[in-house]
Amino acid sequence: MITIYTIFSAMRFSHQRETIRKIVNSTNSHPTADWVFSRAKRSIPKISLGTVYRNLKRLEKTGDLRTIYDGSIARYDWNTKPHDHLKCKECGDLMDVHLLDEGIRSDVKKKYKFAVDDVKMTIIGTCQKHK
Amino acid sequence: MITIYTIFSAMRFSHQRETIRKIVNSTNSHPTADWVFSRAKRSIPKISLGTVYRNLKRLEKTGDLRTIYDGSIARYDWNTKPHDHLKCKECGDLMDVHLLDEGIRSDVKKKYKFAVDDVKMTIIGTCQKHK
DNA sequence: AGTATATATAGTAATCATTCCTATTATTAT
DNA sequence: ATAATAATAGGAATGATTACTATATATACT
Ligand SMILES: [Mn+2]
Ligand SMILES: [Mn+2]
Ligand SMILES: [Zn+2]
Ligand SMILES: [Zn+2]
């Protein structure tokens, strides 16, 4: 008797992944993997950091979130629509803003013969809190 | 007999630092610390990687170069004037462009009450070589 | 509902870039 | 030339991220 199973791996449900997705979706703070990890431990005490990293990567691949780099460390953003960031060098906060319109993409194409996929902009400075 | 020396440390000349400065100044490729290290070894075979890092940091502080982050890894740029970058995701090349004018800085200030120090923009895409 | 199969996990080790530490070397004011 | 100390080489330590693996879990099929 022969049983045939699917050849290509399907993504299975996991409580860990769902928890991680909800955590990232619930904040505007662009959290680090470690922050997501400590939050996830509240509901899944035995979750491991590796699981957090693996699923954050997975969720990026499926388009549920995007990774942004703050200096050398990765932060995760539920907002996958094009937008920019204000980075406060006093408190480290990273805030969403929308500065670049669609026009700049076609500008770049014309000027530099470069196939544009994404435009990343971060404004470094000091936020209102510090004055 | 009492001898008084300066209390505050002055920066001394070092062949290592001069070599590192020249290496960074000689390329438009936005090299990594490791690339600078392997280049430096040609003229100073016993130079250590720690010395490269320490001096790159020092040279940034004195305004001789700036650090840019390509994902999570640091690259060094002799061009300290405001400019932007095209990042090719095929070959990894990072190229200089000038896209943002001064106007955008004052725009940000008006819109977001944020004291702007620097605007970092990277355009991700594919360069001419790949078609 | 029970079983088979493969995916996902926890826990831990490994990796990689970067920083730190320290005995020795090199620069520079006198 | 000497003394003071900044800078270095070499290696250890760190911190974020990834890789490995035995076990647990989800799910397709009886
Ligand atoms: Mn954002
Ligand atoms: Mn540049
Ligand atoms: Zn702030
Ligand atoms: Zn290219």
Q: Is A126 a residue whose pLDDT tops 60?
A: yes
pLDDT at B70 over 90: yes
| Contact present, A105 and A116 (Cβ < 8 Å) | yes
Average pLDDT, chain B: 90
- What pLDDT does A102 receive? 72
User: What chain A residue is nearest to B84 in terms of C-alpha separation?
Assistant: A121
How is residue A114 written in tokens?
Answer: 């470069």
Rounded mean pLDDT of chain A?
Answer: 89
What's the pLDDT tens digit per position in B22-67? 999 999 999 999 999 999 999 999 999 999 999 999 999 999 999 9
Cross-chain CB nearest to B114 (options A74, A86, A119): A86
Q: What is the mean pLDDT of residues A72-93?
A: 94
Give the nucleotide nearest to A32 (CA→C1'): D16
pLDDT of residue A105: 66
pTM: 0.90
- The percent of residues in chain B predicted with pLDDT above 90, rounded, is 71
Residue nearest to nucleotide C21 (CA to C1'): B50
Greater pLDDT, B99 or A17: A17
The count of C-alpha atoms lying within 13 angstroms of the C-alpha of B85, restricted to the half-sphere facing its C-beta, is 28
**Does residue B11 surpass a pLDDT of 70?**
yes
What's residue B61's pLDDT? 96
Q: A4: distance to nearest CA of chain B, Å?
A: 39
Residue B5 has pLDDT above 60, yes or no: no
Tell me which residue in A69, A118, A128 faces B72 most closely, judged by beta carbons: A69
Give the mean pLDDT of B8-29. Answer: 94
* CB–CB contact A114 B107 (8 Å): no
pLDDT: which is higher, A67 or B99: A67
Q: How confident is the model at residue B105 (pLDDT cuts 50, 70, 90)?
A: low
A120 by Cβ neighbours in 10 Å (0-12 / 13-18 / 19+) ranks as middle
Mean pLDDT value of segment B80-92:
93
Task: State yes or no: pLDDT of A1 exceeds 70.
Answer: no
Ligand nearest to the CA of B98: 2
* pLDDT tier, A99 (very low <50, low <70, confident <90, very high otherwise): confident
Name the protein residue, with chain letter, whose CA is nearest the C1' of C7.
A12
Taken in order of first residue, the domains within chain A and their CATH numbers are 4-77 (1.10.10.10), 84-130 (3.30.1490.190)
B19 is written with which tokens? 């070599």
Q: Please give the pLDDT value at position A8.
A: 57
- Contacts of residues A90-95 at CB distance under 8 Å and 24 or more positions apart, as own/partner, are A90/A126, A90/A127, A90/A129, A90/A130, A91/A127, A91/A129, A91/A130, A93/A29, A93/A127, A94/A29, A94/A30, A94/A68, A94/A70, A95/A28, A95/A127
| Residue with the larger pLDDT of the pair B17 and A105 | B17
Confirm or reject contact between B102 and chain A (CB < 8 A): no
Q: How far is the CA of A13 from the C1' of D27 (A)?
A: 10
Residue A59 Cα to chain centre, angstroms: 9
Q: Pick B115's closest partner by Cβ from A72, A104, A126.
A: A126
Q: For residue A68, give the ligand nearest its CA.
A: 1
* Averaged pLDDT, A21-47: 98
- Asked if strand C contacts A66 at the CB level, meaning under 7 A, the answer is no
